[in-house]
Every structure is written in C-alpha cells, then in structure tokens.
Amino acid sequence: MKIKYKSITLNLKIIQRNDSGKYILFLHGFTGSINDWIDVTKHIDSRFNIAMLDFIGHGESDSPSNESLYSTESIIDQIDLAISNITNEKIILAGYSMGGRAALSYAVQYPKKLLALILESTSPGITSENLRKERITNDEELAKFILENPIEKFINHWMNKDLFKSQKNLPKEKLKLILENKSKNNKVGLANSLRGFGSGKMPPLFENLKNIKIRTLLISGELDEKFRNINLHMSRLIQSSKVIVVKEAGHNTHLEREEEYIKEVNNFLNQF
C-alpha cells in the first residue's frame, strides 16, 4: 500500500496472516528495500503478522531532493505513520543496520508504542564529535560519488567494502539478484539518505539506552567484529537484552545465514 507523508509517498507492505493484533515491522538497511525481507518473513512465527517499509529514497518509496525529509526526526515520523497504518496495538520493530538505527531512534522517542526490538548489526550512533564530523565528511564524499556515477558503479563500490566481503561467498545467482535489486534504487534517494540519516548525522543514543525497558534481541555476525563489540556494549546498557552471534556470518546475518537468523528470531518471539 502507498501512504502519504507530507509531500511524498512511502511504500508499505502488510501481510495479514492471522486475526491477531500482533505485528512485526521489518526495516531494511542502506541500499536495501522490502525485497530484502521477502524470503525471511515467510518463515517467521505464524502467530505474527508481517509489515515491511521501503525507507524514503529506497525501493518504491519516493526520492525527493529535499534533504530535510531524510533527517532522523523525519525518519521517526515516517515509521510512526507506517505503524499507525498497521495496528493500534504495540508492535515489534526488526531493523537491520540503517533500519536498526531507525528502529532504535524510534524506540527512544516512542517506547510505549513498542512490544520489543530486534536489532541486527545496529549502531546507536557516534558519540565523539570529531568522529561524527569525519563520518559526515566521508558520507558527503560518498553522496557525491553516487550522483556522479552510474548506480551500478556505486553499488559495486559499496559491496566491495570490507564490511560486506563475506557476502562474496554467497551463491553467484543470489549475489547477482542482490546487486540487481540494489541497483534499482534512486541515486538522489541514496545520496540524501547519507546526507540526512548517516551515522554522523543521527543523534547518538548511548545515553538513552538505559531507558529502554522492552525486550531487545541484539544480533550480529561472528565475522563482524565491530558490530559484535557494539552489541556487547549495548547489552550492558539495555536491561532486558539478549546478544546473539551468528556463526560464519558477516554484517548481514539474515542474508548470509538466513536459517540461523530465522531460528534465533523465532526463539525470541516465543516469549510473546
């Protein structure tokens, strides 16, 4: 379904599997889309209905030139709008990477609207002012690279980062489909996503984590040392959190080790 946020249209997919009010909203990462979750959600606990959102600048959602629409505040508002179109009850947010940062930002602002959090390879932001400025500068350079080159060239550049090197072990056909899906994104949308909601622009949340009282699952890959350490740090601050490390997986555990990701998420959902 299409939902209107200010001057733009966002793409929201709802899969009604039962008559309960239980829903999980899945949020993709940078350069991703709803397509990233299709295979995974087929195997999620059938007691839960499924919803998936294309972020602004991604998938079938609009890619406006107005950078303010990509800000953290705007992203939170867009998630809130999506949730209001899904259910009146508390919802579970499941986010990967950028989607996890968005889910965490939402949880800090609207804790009473959530039943639980599932955060995969997620950062609460950057606390150091110098490192934040450095990240903003790097993201601006990357945004310019996106706009000045064919989308396929950027996607190849992005997927060759060390963060994603373990994905080269995926079957060739699967990797080809991933690259094709990413290349369908809009260059303006991707560039503005970095400028508006990059890790440097997002307000850091470490000081807020102690206020998150809902059950939280923190997932990372065994090969992704940076985010394994971030998850351990977050687990000490979020009271009702559980850390899962997926063996032989890198940054994107639900893609690289789909069965293990589904198993851990379903084990977590057994609590509800």
Predicted pLDDT of residue 21: 87
pLDDT in tens, 132-189: 999 999 999 999 999 999 999 999 999 999 999 999 888 999 999 999 999 999 999 9
What tokens were used for 193? 């996503």
Average the pLDDT over 8-19 and give the result. 96
Query: What is the pLDDT averaged over residues 215-240?
Result: 96
| Residue whose token pair is 């959090």 | 117
Tokens 């949730």: give the residue.
83
Output the pTM of the full model: 0.96
Q: What angle do CA 108, 110, 111 make, to 5 degrees?
A: 70
Whose tokens are 């379903």? That residue is 266
What is the rounded radius of gyration, in angstroms, for the C-alpha atoms of the chain? 17
Give me the chain's average pLDDT, please: 96
User: 217 with 242: CB under 8 angstroms?
Assistant: yes
Distances (CA, A) of 163 to 9, 77, 99, 202, 251: 31, 29, 16, 20, 6
**Separation of alpha carbons 39 and 257, rounded Å:** 12
Q: Which of 26-40, 91-105, 163-177 has the lowest mean pLDDT?
A: 163-177
237, HSE (Cβ side, Cα atoms, 13 Å): 15
Indicate whether 13 pLDDT > 90.
yes
| Cα–Cα nearest to 167, from 250, 65, 60 | 250
What SS3 class is residue 269?
Answer: helix
CATH code linked to domain 2-269: 3.40.50.1820
| Chain center to CA of 213 | 21
Section 125-129 average pLDDT: 95
Closest Cα partner for 230 from 101, 105, 55?
101
First to last CA, the chain: 27
Closest by CA position to 228, among listed 214, 243, 217, 240: 243
